[in-house]
Amino acid sequence: MRIALFVACYNDTLFPQTGIAVTRVLERLGHTIEFPVQQTCCGQMHYNTGYHREAVPLVRRFVEMFRDAEAVCVPSASCVAMMREHYVMMAEAEDDPAFLAEVRSLLPRVFEFSELLVNRLGLEDVGAAFPHSVTYHPSCHSLRMLHVGDAPVKLLRSVRDLTLLELPNKEQCCGFGGTFAVKNPDVSVAMLTEKDACVVQTGAEVVTALDNSCLMQIYGGLHRSGSKVRTLHLAEILESTGGLA
């Protein structure tokens, strides 16, 4: 397939290795990856903070950049959730039929990374090998909005030499929630403390997820407590062919 990568501004700025890993995995599977360099943000940060009108130009830019893509891969469940939950409603409010039609045409071709692999491409084994113990944190957006189900788990179970360990209370939020962690730091830290305790309880060497925002939050708590547990986006594990990414 000809797959366009929307890397997400969070990854582009802080975790560029995730976009590189996605590209390498998909190219290893024989697909052609395109990266529109003028892409920006999905608008989630603006929209969730109440700046709904200010987010519309970002939606228009996304449509402009990706309207011709056969498929769009996004290594961020929260960005895809933003698109599926709000883009049509935002376009309807613009009273612009052409814009609305383009949004509706594009959205069925937009996939979170694990969705693309399992649900669109029909794959579970992508040729990865990762000789380490791993636990999986299902981020709130992937769990409650995208309903990705066990797609990430299927991918992890197919990685050679990987030991997958169940995360206790896995459906519990890590406490990040974007500006929630800034506006409600005490609550956020309390939630994070419980999440990190569950991660450590597994004995895993690595905790993975579909959102680097959650992984940054989880790693912050682990690091401050002196834990040696590492955090890696799912794509970085699937990129591996035998070592620690």
Tens digits of residue pLDDT in 155-183: 999 999 999 999 999 989 988 877 787 88
Average pLDDT of 190-219?
A: 95
- Cβ neighbors of 226 (< 8 A, separation 6 or more) are none
CB burial string 181-194: b at 16+ within 10 A, e below:
beeeeeebbebbeb
Tens digits of residue pLDDT in 63-94: 999 999 999 999 999 999 999 999 999 999 99
Tens digits of residue pLDDT in 136-153: 999 999 988 899 999 999
Tens digits of residue pLDDT in 96-116: 999 999 999 999 999 999 999
Average predicted confidence (pLDDT) for the chain = 94
Q: Considering only CA atoms, which of 123, 141, 121 is closest in space to residue 211?
A: 141
DSSP sequence for 35-86:
--TT----SHHHHHTT-HHHHHHHHHHHHHHHTT-SEEEES-HHHHHHHHHH
Confidence of residue 243 (pLDDT cuts 50, 70, 90): low
Checking if the pLDDT of 49 tops 90, the result is no
pTM of the shown model: 0.94
| CA geometry: angle 90, 82, 23, nearest 5 deg | 125
pLDDT score recorded for residue 35 = 97
pLDDT score recorded for residue 188 = 84
Spatial separation of the C-alpha atoms in residues 125 and 238, rounded to whole Å: 9
Q: Packing angle between helix 97-106 and helix 52-66, nearest 10 degrees?
A: 60
Q: How far apart are the first and last CA of the chain?
A: 26
Residue 111 phi/psi, 5-degree rounding, is -135, 140
Confidence of residue 184 (pLDDT cuts 50, 70, 90): confident
